[in-house]
Chain A
Amino acid sequence: MVVGDIATGTELLVIGAGPGGYVAAIRAAQNGIDTTLVEKDAYGGTCLNYGCIPSKALITGANLAHEAGNAEEMGIHADPVVDMSQLRDWKSGVVDQLTGGVEKLCKANGVNLVEGTARFKDENAVRIAHGGEGQGSETIEFEHCIIATGSRVIQIPGFDFGDEPVWSSRDALEADTVPERLVVVGGGYIGMELSTTFAKLGADVTVVEMLDDILPGYESDVARVVRERAEDLGIDMHFGEGASGWRDEDDGIMVTTETEDGEENEYRADKVLVAVGRSPVTDTMDIESAGLEADDRGFLSVDECRRTDVEHIYAVGDVVEDTPMLAHVASKEGIVAAEHVAGEPVAFDSQAVPAAVFTDPEIGTVGMTEADAEEAGFTPVVGQMPFRASGRALTTNHADGFVRVVADEESGFVLGAQIVGPEASELIAELAFAIEMGATLEDVASTIHTHPTLAEAVMEAAENALGQAIHTLNR
């Protein structure tokens, strides 16, 4: 590391090496742009280190143990013991492999990697404060910049993540023991994924959600499948309650909640996980010095090529207003920004953004719901295929849920899909592709799908929308 402040120059400076930033940096370098990537913490960002990847590792472990222990009807009798610290080590190994891969890929593509925290000096330069005492700083001048600083978990009053019993999602993923009693504040997708996971690992889980259902933003029939399964797993869900604080008790802690009417409830716990959302990180790098201003929630507004108000400064990922905080959105935006820097005729013009929730069962959605389509002025037609009617679903012993396809009645163009059920996160990809390509119901229905697979349900749902389904009654 360099001591003192020396100035170097780069064509493109990317701040943040998460799925938005590292992807942008690699794509820019592939386009022959001299690219510097600054990361203050860990390559891969939240997604690889503290989010998507470790949580999926943990979910896989939890599912495996839970299934093995609950397969008596198949004649499998087992009582698996989960060694949490071993599971954590395995998970960390996966994370390390991926983050190491990101670093290698960046280097192999000629991206200059700089460790440190970037702050804007002006609209063409940042000062990088290197991590650790006395590591000094350096100034990097840039022609273009991509801000990809991502987001951080939201902390709510009364729950300080610095306190040992209060977990953020990141803490939950680092746990080396399963708490006996876990209160989860927030019934959104992160809260529900972790609730399910810890319930399967043996915790006594209570979910406290301010709204009247889990998974706000998802249709009620989709959420219901997950909620019913969560009930089966013994998760206790309380709606219309906001967590107000916690206190130490003799054996653990007491989490207090309040209803809208002011009624108070208390839940005994060993840990409380607060998962109420994430907010963009735009307050650590002096964006004002570059002439930028975030909105009151901290988001940056961008144009279709992800340019901010300062034309040579781009923003991608969770800091961007209006696009969902999803790793794959960040990556796509990163590619768009990088290619735009390279002079390519690109725009973030995706027709639909798929999303997955790794609850039990999983949820996969893309594009419009029936209501969205109606609001957009289409006359939607909907086709549905319950997994109960899928041979493959029955053979996995997971037949809850359905595939639903939404299309425009007149043209047949596929507009959206909601899948709740086994492997929904994988199945949704086909429909995302269909929407991007401007495929019609008939295109999907006419494509031969492998038998016996869950994906057949996608074809069946499209056929159902056309009134031609074989394995369901057409409505």
Chain B
Amino acid sequence: MALKEFKLPDVGEGVAEGELVTWHVAPGDEVTEDQVLAEVETDKALVDVPSPFNGTVEELLAEEGEVVPVGDVIITIREDGDDEETAKAADADADAETADSETAESDDADDGSSSGGRVFAPPSVRRLARELGVDLDSVDGSGPSGRVTEGDVRAAAEDDGDGDEPNGPRTVQSNGKSATAKRDEGTSASAAASAESADREQTLAAPATRALAKEEGVDIDAVPATEMRDGEAFVSPDAVAEYAQAQREAQAADAEAVAAEPDAGAATAEATGDAASEPAPPETGPGAGERVPYKGVRKAIGDQMQRSKYTAPHVTHHDEVDVTELVELREQLKPVAEDRGSRLTYMPFVMKAVVAALKDFPYLNSQLDEDNEEIVLRDEYNIGVAAATDAGLLVPVVRDADRKGMLELADEMNEKVEKARNRKIAPEEMRGGTFTITNIGGIGGEYATPIVNYPEVAILALGAIKDKPRVVDGEVVPRKVLTLSLSFDHRVVDGAQGARFTNRVKELLEDPKLLVLE
């Protein structure tokens, strides 16, 4: 087989899909191994996708802007030294696949048995399939040699919401709450039909699937099971994506319904389903506002913030530090650093101070293992530095900050922040942080209430260094003052400890000579 299919590789742990941002090749282009084929944006970063073989690009199977699940074929490449015949065969294959893809779970439609479309399923299962409107050909059997079981059919029925239901209105389960959908057919029928939810206690799913569910903001226990494994509901990434899509459509339909009934002010989200008996066309005037997709980095940030804020009870401790001496010290060191090719900001000093304080207060460098009800005191000091980028907030991590010198910290941080801004940072460069520092001062403001970068337990926000009047030796003098805002997870860290930690950071920043000892 000289025509090679290339699937979107696993571009990062927990990454289930990526948006194909740019193609660097076009059909007919010759490509060499490792040549960059495309740029793909995941929820973590922009990633280059290199070619695994030498050859000629046959076909691009994803469009720019398309969100592609990991494992989907994105490009076909004809390997060097090929002939016409296989091309035709491959085309035929491709056609066959296109035809197959009309069925529900198309991506591995050709996994079935080797022959004439025979599906192996007992009579009772075949009958159930008809009852539930499931096309047996589209069901992947979980039994021996792919035999289709009752569970497979039931899962497919839940999965495949748009099965042929003979008649009657459908009941839509939305996060366990039911609302009867009597919507106008055609407009939102499909959304209504496929928005069915499950309501389980437990769900089996691959980590990537769970990540996807989180990213999509769906409760994995509500996603209709793809199949049963060992008696437990098993959910596939496709099922999550489909469910999320259905939920979005259902919500959009609900929104339309609400918009359609301005008088129905009392309509709650739960009630909108049946309030929408006569939906008017959705409002499209300028008042409705521009709609920006909530996806990718934006959504990843949102989900992360939401999880942190709703999981960890936040407390924020504020204080001021007189950093006059630090400013002087940095002024002295800056040219020295420059001579060595480094750009020295205040951040490395703060990192040093924070690491020192974390050593004294290990609970601020910990993580709560909720499942095992244990607090894990981390034995490494990986400091995240929040960076504002065009795409949104990214947090590159400087690992083992305790074992790095000031300039090393400066260089590494600068480099990673720069990569983040250019969205060239690798997902693994943003992982594994134990504590985060965010600098809000660059833009303005005094204090903040930062949200902890969960599962870390604390985050320190730096304000701007400003000249402020301070009393020194009984006299009011202008001093350089930095504001600190430390947010922490109150489940792990109490207010007193947070304050003591801040005091320690403060002490080190006020008298930066002490940092030499650290």
**Chain A residues proximal to chain B, CB less than 8 Å:** 345-347, 349-351, 376-379, 408, 410-413, 436-438, 440, 442-443
Contact = CB atoms under 8 A, between A and B. Distances in A.
B478 interface: no
17 contacts: A345-B127, A346-B130, A347-B126, A347-B130, A377-B115, A378-B115, A378-B116, A410-B113, A411-B113, A411-B114, A413-B145, A436-B123, A437-B122, A438-B120, A438-B143, A438-B147, A443-B144
A345 B164 CA distance: 12
Given A377-B114, A440-B145, A345 B131 contact: yes
Nearest to A435: B120
B362 interface: no
A376 B120 CA distance: 14
Interface residues of B, number: 19
A281 to B, nearest CB: 30
Contact of A408 (B115, B130, B144): B115
A241 B516 CA distance: 114
A427 to B, nearest CB: 21
Contacts of B127: 345-346
Given A345-B130, A346-B130, A408 B123 contact: no
A372 to B, nearest CB: 10
Contacts of A436: 122-123
A412 B130 contact: no
A346 B126 CA distance: 9
A438 B114 contact: no
A412 B145 contact: yes
Tell which of B113, B118, B121 has the most Cβ of chain A within 10 Å.
B118
B353 interface: no
Interface string B126-138: 1100110000000
A353 to B, nearest CB: 13
**Looking at chain B's contact residues, is the secondary structure mostly helix, strand, loop, or mixed?**
loop
Nearest to B149: A438
Nearest to A411: B145
B148 interface: yes
A412 B113 CA distance: 11
Given A345-B131, A376-B116, A440-B145, 20 more contacts: A345-B127, A345-B130, A346-B127, A347-B130, A349-B123, A350-B123, A376-B118, A378-B116, A408-B113, A408-B114, A408-B115, A410-B145, A411-B145, A413-B120, A436-B123, A437-B122, A438-B121, A438-B122, A442-B144, A443-B144
B116 A377 contact: yes
Contacts of A442: 144
B146 interface: yes
Which 5 A-B residue pairings sit nearest by Cβ, starting from the closest?
Answer: A377-B115, A438-B120, A411-B145, A345-B130, A345-B131
A37 B123 CA distance: 28
Interface string B476-490: 000000000000000
B420 to A, nearest CB: 50
Nearest to A374: B115
B352 to A, nearest CB: 64
B131 A440 contact: no
Contacts of B120: 411, 413, 438
Nearest to A304: B130
